[in-house]
Amino acid sequence: MPKKYADKPSANADYRLLYRLVPYLKPYWKLLVIGGVFALVVAATEGMTAWLVKPAMDDIFLKRDVLMLKLLPLALLGVYLAKGGGRFGQAYLMASVGERVIARIRRELYSHIQGMPLAFFASLHSAELMSRVVTDVNRLARLSSTVLVMGCARPGPSWRSSWSCSAASGC
């Protein structure tokens, strides 16, 4: 490691565990891309909502345009329906992928634990072992879903703070 980076924590060390999730996420890359598209729909509708305020103020309140009074509420309704559909699609797909990944990790972990020697089980209490298994996998589930959703829902701030985290999240 170069000397100038010796005193700083490595970015690879911070994201090493996240990169270990990549093989588990690869079978679901299409669903993740579709979830990312839904996130872009949500972001676009956020901007559209703000953009529709100007015609509402100018055309409806100042110019008293009756046609715009009929069209803008329908446009706002359409934008909010698209936004709701995008949020639902994103949340559903990301949660679906997260649950599938966690189920696979749990299956692998349980099969690994069953193959451990008896000395391993003699040194640990069964309650401690089960607590660690359940808690650690649940933490991993929360971490993976949070990183994926936050990286897709708010790409701007995450890109500014850590481009490698956003790249790892797939958005």
Q: How far apart are CA 155 and CA 171, in angstroms?
A: 7
pTM for the full model? 0.67
Instruction: Determine whether 15 is exposed, middle or buried from the number of CB atoms within 10 Å of its CB (0-12, 13-18, 19+).
Output: middle
pLDDT tens track of the chain, all 171 residues?
Answer: 444 444 445 556 557 767 788 888 899 999 999 999 999 999 999 999 888 888 778 877 777 878 888 888 899 999 999 999 999 999 999 889 888 988 898 899 889 988 989 888 888 888 888 888 888 877 777 776 566 555 555 554 444 444 444 444 444
Pick the CATH number of 28-169 from 3.40.50.280, 1.10.3210.10, 2.30.42.10, 1.20.1560.10: 1.20.1560.10
